[in-house]
Each structure stands twice: as structure tokens, then as C-alpha cells.
Amino acid sequence: MRTSQPSGRRAGADFRRTVQTLLYESFRHAQGDQRLQIHFIESYARILREQGVSIDPAVRDELVPRIRSRRLPRGHLAISNRQQVAAQFEFWWLTLWDLLVSVYAEDSRHVPSSARLADRMVLVGGTTEMSSFTPAEMRQIDEGLAPYRDQDDPAKSSAQIIWERFLPNLIRVEWNFQGNGARYPARPRTDGGDIHESKMLGYCDRAAAVSVDQASDPVNQIYLEVSRSLAWLAAHRPQDPTYAAYTRLIASYRANHQRATATLGGQAVC
């Protein structure tokens, strides 16, 4: 496994910032869906590996107190129980590290089992009465992790993970917020903003507009790959299930935004 060296890229303080950014961005880009959060982390971790970024395993335990004190990103559904927020951050911090080590060591045995997830929930102070740790939510996390337990999975590239897992789940989450979700048919906003806003559109537009220097940012890389994947599917496999789900999403978005003329990679987008 590639670990940090004094002369390595993003060693020391730089890596500490990198891995904390990964955790925080995973909450933002999950859009409240913990399965999507897993696929975002896996995509981001593989981009770091492909960029030659070294990791420092000592950071995992060293930063736990700081991680537990973090606040949820702006726009995240409000959680008044501070113990739940602290438990949720530590749970995902430890799980992020399992996935990061699995990717870098190319060893899927580091991906936590369902039993390990249940033990971790208790360890960080979570309970099944907390919305983040209900039996249904824990099953969703376990199902999201299932494909990463395959012994050949760590060798897959970021592009493969984005294509096969992140993109289909991103479309699913966005579709739900267009009036189709059983739990949240619209975004639970308190700021008066668009309850059917497409975060996907905003992130893809932002990634397409960045400078060359900013293009290497893992978040931008993820959404640039989303754009490339959709453009390729439109040109070569318009009947693909992922693209079919995407076209349904476009129609639903437009029904909620009668004047919308959004595009992505030359194709109409939600």
C-alpha cells in the first residue's frame, strides 16, 4: 500500500486536508443518500490513487476528536441531536478509511461486513432510533458496500466506478427529488430555494467551466466523467438502462421547470 513519505505528494498537512475534504464532500454529494455517499467516496479514492496521492494511516485515529466536532454541510437536512451528528461523522470517517485502505492496498477484505458496521454504530455512539442508523438505513449502507467486497473490485478505475455505480445512483437520487421519491419527493429546504433543484446539473456545469488547474480536483473529475459517460451513452447506447433512466429524469425535471433548457456534454440534462 502506498503511504505518505516526507517527499511524497500531499504528505503531512496537505494529506490531512485532503482526507478531511473527502469526508466533508461525501456528505454534500450524497444528497442525503448513504448508498450514493459510498459510491462518491470510492470514486474519489480511486482518483486520488490515480493521481499518485499518498495516504498516511496514522491520520485516521489522530483526527477522530476533530471529526466528531464537525458540523454538517450547508444544505444538509438539519439534525438537532448533536450526539447523532458526532456519531454519524465518526461512523463515516472510519468507514471512509476502510474504503481508502481497500483501494490503496487493492484488498477488498478491508471493506466492512454488515456485522462490523453494526458494531461500529454502537462504538461511535449511534442507536437504531437515530435516523442515520435505523435498520433500513444500515441495510442500505450494507447493500451499497456489497459490490466492493468482491476480491477483484479494488483494481477497478475511477471511471469504471463512476460509470457503473455513481452515475446510476446519482440519477436515482435526482429522480426522487423531482416528485418521484417515496420519502422525499422534493428537497427538504428551509431557504426558500427550488425544491426540485438539480444538484447534478449544477455540479456538472461547474466542472465544465473550471480552469485547467482546477480540473484535477477530484470532485470536478467525478462530474466531468459523468458528463463524458452520458455523452457517450447518448451517441452509442441510447437504449442503455442508465441512459433510459436519465432521459426519464430529464422529462421529470422539465415538467417541474417549464422554461428549463439545460445541457450537459451536448445532451439535454436534468
Residue 185 lies inside a defined structural domain of this protein: yes
Rounded Cα distance between 191 and 214, Å, is: 29
To the question of pTM greater than 0.85 for the whole model, the response is yes
25 closest CA partner among 60, 73, 82: 73
Please check whether residues 33 and 138 belong to one and the same domain.
yes
Report residue 92 CA to chain centroid gap: 11
49 closest CA partner among 120, 118, 103: 103
Please check whether residues 103 and 175 belong to one and the same domain.
no
Looking at residue 267, what is its pLDDT? 47
Radius of gyration of the chain (CA): 18
Strands 267-268 and 263-264, by their bridges, are antiparallel
Last residue of a domain, one of 155, 180, 209: 155
Structural domain that includes position 118: 13-155
Q: Could you tell me if 154 and 101 are in contact, meaning their C-beta atoms sit under 8 angstroms apart?
A: no
What residues are paired with 263 via a beta bridge? 268
91 closest CA partner among 122, 124, 129, 42: 124
Please check whether residues 94 and 128 belong to one and the same domain.
yes
Rounded Cα distance between 255 and 259, Å, is: 9
Please check whether residues 105 and 183 belong to one and the same domain.
no
Residue 1 lies inside a defined structural domain of this protein: no
Please check whether residues 191 and 148 belong to one and the same domain.
no
What grid cell was written down for 217?
Answer: 480536483
Please check whether residues 175 and 146 belong to one and the same domain.
no
Q: Tell me the per-residue pLDDT of 65-81, one tens digit each, with 9 for 90 and over.
A: 999 988 776 656 666 77
Please check whether residues 136 and 230 belong to one and the same domain.
no
Q: What is the mean pLDDT of residues 203-220?
A: 87
Give the CA distances from residue 66 to residues 63, 69, 127, 170, 192, in Å, rounded to whole numbers and listed in that order.
5, 5, 21, 29, 32
Looking at residue 10, what is its pLDDT? 39
Say how many domains are in the chain: 2
Rounded Cα distance between 253 and 18, Å, is: 34
Please check whether residues 151 and 163 belong to one and the same domain.
no
Please check whether residues 150 and 164 belong to one and the same domain.
no
Last residue of a domain, one of 155, 178, 209: 155
Residue 8 lies inside a defined structural domain of this protein: no
Please check whether residues 133 and 147 belong to one and the same domain.
yes
Name which of 23-37, 42-56, 103-117, 246-260 the model is least confident about. Answer: 246-260
Mean pLDDT, the chain, integer: 89
pLDDT band (50, 70, 90) for residue 13 = confident
Burial of 204 (0-12, 13-18, 19+ CB in 10 A): buried
Rounded Cα distance between 199 and 218, Å, is: 17
Please check whether residues 17 and 149 belong to one and the same domain.
yes
Looking at residue 266, what is its pLDDT? 41
Report residue 57 CA to chain centroid gap: 21
Please check whether residues 202 and 109 belong to one and the same domain.
no
Rounded Cα distance between 249 and 201, Å, is: 12
